[in-house]
Structure 1
């Protein structure tokens, strides 16, 4: 009996030791796996490409979807049948997980087909170096449309985006400037959108240029000078009216009242100054 009891205790100790060894082995394996996974994540982050411009706009999906729904349901209710979810997916697929210096116009073709819409004749307004003034004008006078007043331009105005070959496929830290590479996602988008905007123009076309720039109002390297002017269709466009805008204090201009809203004390804005000065 003592021998049997001793053998039983030995077996119990052996089973207990084996159990402890298996448990410790599992813990070690778990620690090793956790270390590998953590190390892999730490190593993955520095692989993302570094650029000089701001990164992708935070909450880009929500921004694009919100602007799209607002445009097709409030600003242009007649376009309400457009699928904003498909439009967002098309934009995302154009750049996600791609090197941001290798984007082509073909990447954006599905988006252009989904989000483009006609502009009524005699309503197209092009601009160069007059961004703020042109859009204050179209906001107060809805008879005209700039590119930024179309769905494509409205969604993308002031927004930044670019992809990266490594996970998560979108770079929120930095994106390339045009000086780093011209074939970046934002530049390619605006060039293609500008081309399409010019191609759809018809009737009388308006162009707002800045006459107060020393280098000259027309610059051949601008989007208007290098893309839009060459894609106006002479079979559809009957005339081009140039509005040469000067800083306030210069010659009379169609948007002087808008400029006076921001400069009410300027002498040009005191319409009754001379008559009030008389006795």
Structure 2
């Protein structure tokens, strides 16, 4: 039996030590790479911490309830599947970065919930939300976007998701100042465009004359609706510049902002008219009130309150 020399033993030990060191280093590199890769896959922790309030509580139940009310009471002739509409709505923003929503995300929803609007019935508005909706509720002969199915369902609600899961984010959603492509902004811009495109005949517009500029290019009305009216279907735009009866008039039909709007509309081959503080001619024919219970909101509802 030949004994192994001490030099051979030392050499073999060095080889084993070197091999072990290499294995440990490679193992550490693999672990480090896995950690880095995992961090790249996960969204930044701050992504879900937005400045806006989270999605409206019980969002699904509220939207389904509104849909059922609309299709059974408000417009019973409309045949729509509320559950399919909810799923199309949710799929537009769920599991997505709430600052990276596109119009294409909502397109299936718009097509699914579309319904016709009669000619001469469209009422657009800017900075007159409360008054415009009082008007359509009381008078009943015109429709705002919020009087359509989708507008009725989404009015006043907030919603968003997160790219890291398939849940609705009830903690926080982006404020519109944080990013332009947030779920609510994209929804309302596309819904407004669709509403304007469907208008025909006479289009009525209610603007606020108690602010410095009744017409503003950057508003949804100025940047979206005005430019998506179809001149082949719309022949006249009637502007009503309304003023707060308790305040001063800041803008009117003769102002520069309304003249700018007039130039844009006539440049699109649509006739234009404007009236300050429009009063409906059939105001005295409002619904019969119980004796001694005249509704003052109806009497003054034609003015910005």
**8 Å contact from structure 1 (residues 56, 162) kept in 2:** yes
**8 Å contact from structure 2 (residues 138, 298) kept in 1:** no
Q: How does 1:12-161 map to 2 (within 5 A)?
A: 49-79=48-78, 81-161=79-159
Deviation at 1:212, TM superposition (A): 1.1
Task: Give the alignment's TM-score, normalised by structure 1.
Answer: 0.74
Q: Cα deviation per residue 1:241-261 (whole Å; 9 max; x = unaligned)?
A: 000101115665326979x92
Q: Cα deviation per residue 1:228-249 (whole Å; 9 max; x = unaligned)?
A: 0000000000100000101115
CA RMSD of aligned residues (A): 2.6
- 2:235 and 2:165 mapped to 1: Cα distance? 50
**8 Å contact from structure 2 (residues 197, 229) kept in 1:** yes
1:253 to 278, 296, 303: 278
For structure 1, list consecutive stretches of 5 or more residues without a partner in the other structure.
Answer: 1-43, 269-279
Deviation at 1:179, TM superposition (A): 1.0
Deviation at 1:141, TM superposition (A): 1.2
**8 Å contact from structure 1 (residues 97, 168) kept in 2:** yes
- 2:280 and 2:208 mapped to 1: Cα distance? 12
- 1:167 and 1:129 mapped to 2: Cα distance? 37
Task: Give the alignment's TM-score, normalised by structure 2.
Answer: 0.68
How many residues were matched structurally? 221
- As a proportion of its length, which structure holds more helix? 1
- 2:112 and 2:53 mapped to 1: Cα distance? 28
Question: 1:163 maps to which residue?
Answer: 161
Deviation at 1:49, TM superposition (A): 1.0
- 2:153 and 2:109 mapped to 1: Cα distance? 12
> Could you say if the C-alpha distance between residues 92 and 248 of structure 1 is closer, same or farther in structure 2, counting changes exceeding 3 Å?
same
